[in-house]
A and B are shown apart, each in its own frame.
Chain A
Amino acid sequence: MDSTASETAPILPPDLTDDSITERITGIVVKRKMGYGWIGGFAIAFALLMMFNYAIAVLFTYGVGIWGIQVPVAWGFAIVNFVWWVGIGHAGTFISAVLYLCHQEWRTSINRFTESMTLFAVACAGLFPILHLGRPWLFFYLMPYPNTMELWPQFRSPLVWDVFAVTTYAIVSVIFYFVGLLPDLATLRDRSPHRWQRIIYGILALGWRGAGRQWSRYKMAYLIMAGLATPLVVSVHSIVSLDFAVGIVPGWHTTIMPFYFVAAALESGFAMGLILIIPVRHFYGLKDIITGRHLANMAKLLLATSLVVGHGYFTDTFMSWYSADPYDKFITADKFTGSYAFGGWMLMILDVGVVQLIWIRAVRQSPIALFFIAILANVGLWLDHFILVVQSLHSDYLPSEWRMFYGTKWDWMTLFGSFGLFLTLFFVFIRIFPMVAMSEMRGLVHKKPGETKEAGA
């Protein structure tokens, strides 16, 4: 295997210079013609997106009754998808912010990438809470807005916390993304061959000139933002988890929730990161910039988070036994022996079991293997949320109201349709923005080789 595949490969190719970085990264955006691969991929993504629109149109026409939800299982795919997508949206900011604070320089090759992934995932996630409303046209009731009736949201409800958390997260991610992009936009402005490109990028670059004082303020702001984004990442999925933890539904009402939700979020994020990066670095020949070492590091993070999730499962199960709460006990037993036992076991096999393969060096170094492990892990995490939502609800306190939940075709169309939205945005992104943070790369290039070496995972 070539040097770049090994996980000990340098995080940068030795021959990389400021100019060559700029040349290659901007090249992809401003010079390279659309390949058939790109067009094909985009076509598929767009088709899915259209299916999504269709499903939504039908939904708005007839109401959420087209889904499988009922009483007692009044929440179904919509919430599951929401939680799952928000989770995916976590890795980006985590990589950009937390790893930045930890001076993990290898992140530079991938942070732009994962940040954009975050934005698109959050975009998908943001849709579902609105779709899932019985009267979606009144979604703004959840926001505090001035009205003559002096009606306010009910701030004790976790759903309102959600609105604030997710909105904040979306806005901050966009800003974080844009600020990171600013110098590169300036580069694009100065390197674009066509006038119209120069104008567009010129406007976006806000007239950035890379002056020393600008840089130092910029660095300071970026650092503080990273500092703020870190607790934000943790808070967002914690709050999402409170949607469940605050409820009195057995299986929801546990304190482990925030902890293991965040872990699950990061796991799905890293997994999705791998799923996207591996093909892109292959098709756009970025193997030397996003090296095997990067993949290996991502994989290690995936492994770590999966272990935390596993711990979460264990604690959850243990606590329901230890609490001696008959309802909680019942629901936990039901998870592994009841009607949903298959899902109950399968999710653990996928998002914890399979991921353990990463312990093996050969697996860590094989992009293909990582690619599929990542996919399985994400399927597992979707199942995890499904079981959490549906299985807990389907048999709670009064046996008289126990019922099985079955998703309808509309449920599935909405789920797969959301992939369409995500991928479409992604295909557009790789066409118009540099997928590697050039300015930071340059910074690395000029580091003494020694520093760069021992920096790393």
Chain B
Amino acid sequence: MLRLSPLSSMKSLPLPPQVQIDAGGPRFWKSLEEWSQSPDFLPYLHREFPEYASAWDNGMSRRRFLKLMAASFALAGLTSCSRQPQEKIVPYVRRPEEIIPGKPLYYATTFSHRGYGKGVLVRTEMGRPTKIEGNPDHPASLGATDVFMQASILGLYDPDRSQTIRQGNDISTRDAFTQFVGARIEAHEQDQGAGLFLLTGKTTSPTLADQLQRLHERFPKLSWCSYEPAAPVRAQSILGHDAEPVYDLSKADIIVSLDADFLLDGPANLVLTKAFSKKRRDPAADFNRLYVIESAPSITGAKADVRWRRKPSEVITFTQQLAAAIAQGVAGDSPEIRQLANDLQQHRGRGVIIAGDYQPEVVHALAFQLNQTLGNIGSTVTYQEAQQTPIPTTSLPDFVTALKRRAASTLLIAGANPIYDLSPAWGFSNAMARVTHSIHLGLYDDETGSRCHWHVPGSHYLEAWGDILAIDGTPSLLQPVIEPLYPDAVSLVEVISLLVDLPPKKGYEIVREFWQRSLAADVPAAWELSLNKGVVAGLSPQALSPTPVVSVRDAPPEDLPNSSDLEILFRPDTAVDDGRFANNAWLQELPRPLTKLTWDNVAMISLATAKSMGVTTGDVVRLEAAGQSVDAPVWIQPGHADGCVSVTLGYGRSQLGEVANGVGFNAGLLRSSVAAWSQALTRAQATGARLELASTQHHFSMEGRDLIQIETLADYKTDPSQAQENQPNPPPEENLYPPFAYKDYAWAMSIDLNTCVGCNACVVACQSENNIPVVGKDQVFKGREMHWIRIDRYFEGEPEDPAMHFQPVTCMQCEDAPCEVVCPVGATVHTSEGLNDMVYNRCVGTRYCSNNCPYKVRRFNFLEYSDATHPTLALQKNPDVTVRSRGVMEKCTYCVQRIESARIDAQKEMRPIRDGEIVTACQAACPADAIVFGNINDPASRVSRLKALPRNYGLLADLNTHPRTTYLAKVTNPPTAI
């Protein structure tokens, strides 16, 4: 049983084994601990004040955090005496044996999303995890992160997480639950588990697989269903294989995306983005070309050199025509097909066709066939056997019917939320109602949990032991970087252990024992190394089995809606995914890449469709499909395909938490099945109501200003320095005053608009690093979002089908900063290294600096935005960054705290700061390596070399502000024929 002893929150610290701590302190805490949660105490208390149950929880939790903190500081003091942790976990890098107060430690663990893992490094400050970075050693991260990884740290401290075990309406205890499970085991020993139902999300955890096998041996008749509301479609039924395509874009010169948002979505997004951007970094060298055929604009579409918008059914026909054109060489009459086919033919073996995860099987099959005929398989794409499930699974429909049939039964739901995911047509709640014993394990007591007899708080991945596979099959471990904030919290493996192990084991034992069996000879060393690196050492990705050719011709014909019909397509939301992150305020307030919309999901349509429907942005329409209907606000999106409505999942939560509840609408209700990604829309009509949508960018066009420099590859080759000619730096004589001399360091940044894919990772990373508050929908609506780095999105050309461009904008750290001159109190001044510093204590809030900032990167605390009411949130705060109060101006600091810590390290070693030693939060997160920070006084530094490129230009350089942040012009690579 997990018991939280405060010092054990320090288990994560590397401490010498030999020293023993005197247990006096801990015992005192422990006793208090046990007192506060002894089995008979809680129910008694609960009977006493039933309605204050929640209040009590908070009270408990709050006290627990205080204890945690107190303990951390206590330990910080007790550097002399330390002890051998019972569960030794290993820091990523070797640190001094004893912890240095204020010095962060990094631990490798794995963030799992939709069943696959992405390695992360967690920065802990005195035992508090405060920041997520990518793990360079992990094949699915390569050091980069996406928005979900970045924001997951906030999920850990979410005040709305469930905190106690609940039976019916009463708070219960771990022991009571264990006893209950024991009883159920006996019951199911009789029926061999026929009445035992297990519903989980997708998982690739080897340990769990092992457990499930043992579970299956014990209860051969149990039925297990694992589903994801946003699971990728694969061409299993056609190819005969559940083949998982693995793309190698570093070899691909022509990339064709069949509505695949591979840069943002999916378990391989970071890998693909890295490889993609690598071939865009240097226009002089090889440069790939991206064709995108898609319905709703995605960041992949925005990066496309050629983008064709097609509604879902047309994407299928397009693919079929393309396949025909390639196979029989019959170039259809459509110029697009001819163009594309011809381009692919010219690049045999150096092109790749990527079928979107949410495309029907036939598209995947055709993509496979195309790749094969073009000889791409083996070079740019390889197919590997997808993960096989350890035991036979039941499909969701069968599972539900089985539930309905079965009277006396036990249902365990973990990591799944069917009540929310499935439309009422499934009748899942009725089915559940008939279940005699339902158990819910999850971070939140959500829509499904509240309908279960038992709810057990799940432990966050940062609190739990476990393991998971990366998309390429590399296993990696999860190690807790903090004791569970709520002692009742358990992980799935621990719950399964209740069913299979006697006595039940703790997560650590379960995982360790499994790997003991499967690891190489020298277990302790290998184990340590695996924890240290974050990937299981010595285990290379599974061998890829070449897939036999299967004719696609006898593929079942897709029942395409006729072209006149309005179609609807579903996608996981770019910020809250399938709803699992809906209570994460950072993500809710994260401007979606192309709409710049926050705090809502919308029914996205094209301009023409809007005209035909007679609606405009903000009008609420009633969408009817699959016998269900939802009211959704319309959003007119340039570049959206005509004749279809696209909606995102994950909204319209009713029982998640403060943040999520009542935001947006549940598009999932319209899906005919959890695999349905597009279908005919029965009806869409305006209700006459309107909804105000909080977008952070209202203006689409650049008004002909040279803000984002764009040139085609051809032009670039003829005249590389076009960008600088359009946006020249004014000659020095235009300066009245002599320039300031920056002696030792001169910090600067270079942002490559060519590689930037606009994925938003930098925005969340910055928010998490710099304690940036969330302001809420109405404040965003007023125009008061606080992000220090924002990604400007511009459309160019026809409003119906424009080119789309991204431009990350941080503080430019101007050398002649307009903001400084007008500050009446000297609250923003220049440092000797060229940083434009904010002195929060001095700021009185005249906001003149913001007016005078041509880049409008300054953010003002119009009200008290930083949340002081939730003690948990305080734990996430970065101790090196001031939390700003009301009435104070703030902005990007180039992560000055990171500069300073690097300086301290350098000074201790009596050496100058090395190039690349300082990595800003945004730079660290960027999967495209578009952001580079460094010292321009050192001509050899990476940033200096980038600024020497002809593509380098300063934003609004004509204002003579001498920005330290400069951009590399965007180069597109359209085929000459078009």
Contacts and interface: CB of A to CB of B under 8 A. Distances in A.
Is there a direct interface between A and B, measured as CB atoms under 8 Å apart in the complex?
Answer: yes
Interface in B820-840: 821-826
A399 B855 CA distance: 10
Nearest to B848: A159
Interface string A137-166: 011011000000001111011111001000
A426 interface: no
A62 B887 CA distance: 10
A163 B848 CA distance: 14
B792 A400 contact: yes
A243 B847 CA distance: 12
A159 B861 CA distance: 20
Contacts of B790: 400
Nearest to B702: A399
Interface residues of A, number: 49
Given A139-B844, A400-B699, A64 B862 contact: yes
Interface in A402-426: 402-403
Contact of A72 (B842, B843, B850, B861): B850
A133 B844 CA distance: 6
Contacts of A400: 697, 699, 790, 792-794, 807, 809
Contacts of B705: 326, 397, 399
Contacts of B783: 70-73, 403
Nearest to B886: A63
A438 B846 CA distance: 44
Contacts of A69: 847, 862
Contacts of B886: 63, 65, 134-135
A396 B703 CA distance: 11
Interface in B382-409: none
Interface string A70-85: 1111110000000000
Nearest to B701: A399
A248 interface: yes
Interface in B704-726: 704-705, 707
Contacts of A159: 822, 824, 846, 848
Given A71-B784, A134-B889, A398-B792, A154 B854 contact: no
A330 interface: yes
A63 B888 contact: no
A132 interface: yes
Contacts of B701: 399
A65 B862 contact: yes
Interface centre among A70, A393, A400, A403 (most CB of B within 10 A): A400
B822 A74 contact: no
B855 A75 contact: no
Contact of A135 (B809, B822, B858, B887): B887
Given A75-B847, A134-B886, A326-B705, A142 B825 contact: yes
A249 interface: yes
B861 A134 contact: yes
A343 interface: no
A190 interface: no
Nearest to A67: B862
Interface residues of B, number: 52
B846 A134 contact: yes
Interface string B886-903: 111100000000000000
Given A64-B862, A134-B888, A157 B848 contact: yes
A134 B843 contact: yes
Contacts of B702: 399
A72 B887 contact: no
A410 to B, nearest CB: 12
A297 B837 CA distance: 54
A25 B37 CA distance: 85
Nearest to A70: B783
Contacts of B847: 69, 74-75, 134
A133 B856 contact: no
A456 interface: no
A62 B792 CA distance: 31
B506 interface: no
Contact of B824 (A136, A157, A398): A157
B655 interface: no
A163 B852 contact: no
B862 A133 contact: no
B891 to A, nearest CB: 11
A71 B843 CA distance: 17
A247 B823 CA distance: 11
B860 interface: yes
A163 to B, nearest CB: 7
A27 interface: no
Contacts of A247: 818, 822, 848, 851-852
A142 B850 contact: no
A165 B858 CA distance: 28
B782 interface: yes
Nearest to A161: B824
Contact of A64 (B707, B826, B887, B959): B887
Interface in B852-909: 852, 854-856, 858-864, 886-889
A50 interface: no
Interface string B791-827: 0111000000000000101000000001001111110
B698 interface: yes
A148 to B, nearest CB: 14
B589 to A, nearest CB: 15
A246 interface: yes
Contacts of B779: 65
Interface in A1-30: none
B956 interface: yes
A248 B852 contact: yes
Given A64-B887, A74-B850, A160 B824 contact: yes
B848 to A, nearest CB: 6
Contact of B846 (A73, A133, A397, A398): A133
Nearest to B790: A400
B572 interface: no
B822 A158 contact: yes
B824 A142 contact: yes
Nearest to B780: A70
A393 B851 contact: yes
B773 interface: no
Contacts of A399: 699, 701-703, 705, 707, 794
A233 B53 CA distance: 68
B858 A71 contact: yes
Contacts of B821: 156-157, 246
A243 B790 CA distance: 28
Contact of B844 (A63, A66, A142): A142
A390 B345 CA distance: 57
A89 B661 CA distance: 53
Contacts of A73: 783
Contact of B699 (A75, A135, A138, A402): A402
Contacts of B888: 134-135
A398 B843 contact: no
Nearest to B829: A154
Contacts of B887: 63-64, 133-135
B845 interface: yes
B825 A141 contact: yes
25 contacts: A63-B864, A68-B782, A71-B784, A72-B783, A133-B844, A133-B887, A134-B847, A134-B862, A134-B888, A134-B889, A135-B888, A136-B844, A151-B842, A153-B826, A154-B824, A157-B848, A159-B824, A246-B821, A248-B854, A326-B704, A400-B793, A400-B809, A401-B697, A402-B698, A403-B698
The 10 closest A-B pairs by CB, nearest first: A134-B845, A134-B887, A65-B862, A70-B783, A65-B863, A74-B847, A400-B792, A159-B824, A401-B856, A135-B887
